[in-house]
Structure 1
Amino acid sequence: MTQHKRRVAFAATVAGISLLAAGCASGTAEDTSGSTTTESATETVEGRIAVAYEGGVAVLDPETLEVVDEFASEEFVRLNTFGDGKTVAVTTSAGFQMLDTSEPALTDLVFEATTAGHVVSHEGNTVLFDDGTGTSTIVATDAFADGYDALPETTTYTADEPHHGVSIVLEDGELVTTLSDRSGAVALHAHEDHWDEEAMSADCPGIHGEGTAADEAVIFGCENGALLYADGEFVKFTAPDEYGRMGNAFVSETSPIVVGDYKNDPDAEGYLLNAVTLIDTAAQTYEVVDLPDEVQYTFRDIARGPGDLAYILASDGQIHVLAPETGELTDAYPVVEAWEGPVEWQDAHPAIKVAGDIAYVTEPATNSVHAVDLTTGEIISSVELDHTPNEIAIS
Structure 2
Amino acid sequence: MKRHTRVSTAAAALLGVSLLATACSTGGDDAAASEASDPAGASEAVGRVAVAFPNGIAVLDPETLEVVGEVATEEFTRLNAFGDGRSIAVTTSEGFQILDTAEPALTDRVFDATAAGHVVAHHGKTVLFDDGTGTTTVLDTDAFADGADAEPETVTYTAPAAHHGVSIVLEDGTLLTTVGDETGRTGAVALHAHDDHWHEEAASDECPGIHGEGTAADEAVIFGCEDGALLYRDGAFVKLQAPDAYGRMGNAFVSETSPVVVGDYKSDPDAEGYLLNAVTLIDTAAQTLEVIDLPDEVQYTFRDIARGPGDLAYILSTDGRIHVLDPETGELVDAYPVVEPWEGPAEWQDPHPAIKVDGDIAYVTEPAADAVHAIDLTSGEIVASVELEHTPNELAVALG
The question of a shared fold, defined as TM-score above 0.5 by the shorter chain, is answered with yes
Mapped to 2, the partners of 1:354 and 1:224 lie a distance apart of: 29
3-state SS of paired residue (1:307): helix
Structure 1 residue 153, shift from structure 2 partner? 1.2
Q: Deviations over 1:252-311 (max 9, x none)?
A: 000000000000000000000000000000011110000000000000000000000000
3-state SS of paired residue (1:142): helix
User: Which structure 2 residues correspond to residues 207-286 of structure 1 after superposition, within 5 A?
Assistant: 207-286=210-289
In the alignment, which residue of structure 1 is the partner of 2:391? 388
Structure 1 residue 180, shift from structure 2 partner? 2.2
In the alignment, which residue of structure 2 is the partner of 1:38? none
**What is the root-mean-square deviation in Å for CA atoms of aligned residues?**
1.3
Report whether the alignment pairs 1:154 with 2:149. Answer: no
Mapped to 2, the partners of 1:292 and 1:146 lie a distance apart of: 46
Structure 1 residue 151, shift from structure 2 partner? 3.1
**Pair 1:45–1:304, CA change in 2 (3 A):** farther
Structure 1 residue 146, shift from structure 2 partner? 3.2
Mapped to 2, the partners of 1:368 and 1:151 lie a distance apart of: 36
Mapped to 2, the partners of 1:320 and 1:46 lie a distance apart of: 28
Question: What amino acid is the match of 1:203?
Answer: E
Consecutive unaligned residues in structure 2, runs of 5 or more: 18-35, 37-43
Mapped to 1, the partners of 2:236 and 2:8 lie a distance apart of: 11
Q: Deviations over 1:197-244 (max 9, x none)?
A: 000000000000000000000000000000000000100011111100
In the alignment, which residue of structure 2 is the partner of 1:123? 123
Indicate conservation of the 8 Å contact 2:253/2:306, yes or no.
yes
User: Which structure 2 residues correspond to residues 1-395 of structure 1 after superposition, within 5 A?
Assistant: 4-8=1-5, 11-18=6-13, 21-22=16-17, 46-181=46-181, 182-395=185-398
Question: What amino acid is the match of 2:380?
Answer: G
Q: Deviations over 1:169-193 (max 9, x none)?
A: 0000000000124100000000111
3-state SS of paired residue (2:263): strand
Structure 1 residue 13, shift from structure 2 partner? 1.5
Q: Deviations over 1:356-378 (max 9, x none)?
A: 00000000000000000000000
Structure 1 residue 12, shift from structure 2 partner? 1.0
The runs of at least 4 consecutive aligned structure 1 residues that moved more than 6 Å come to none
Mapped to 2, the partners of 1:392 and 1:146 lie a distance apart of: 23
Structure 1 residue 46, shift from structure 2 partner? 4.5
Mapped to 1, the partners of 2:61 and 2:152 lie a distance apart of: 28
Structure 1 residue 21, shift from structure 2 partner? 4.3
Question: What amino acid is the match of 2:308?
Answer: G
Indicate conservation of the 8 Å contact 2:15/2:203, yes or no.
no
* TM-score, normalised with respect to structure 2: 0.91
Indicate conservation of the 8 Å contact 2:124/2:141, yes or no.
yes
Consecutive unaligned residues in structure 1, runs of 5 or more: 23-32, 34-43
Indicate conservation of the 8 Å contact 1:137/1:154, yes or no.
yes
Indicate conservation of the 8 Å contact 1:109/1:150, yes or no.
no
Question: What amino acid is the match of 2:67?
Answer: V
**Pair 1:71–1:79, CA change in 2 (3 A):** same
In the alignment, which residue of structure 1 is the partner of 2:33? none
Question: What amino acid is the match of 1:190?
Answer: A
Question: What amino acid is the match of 1:246?
Answer: M
In the alignment, which residue of structure 2 is the partner of 1:29? none
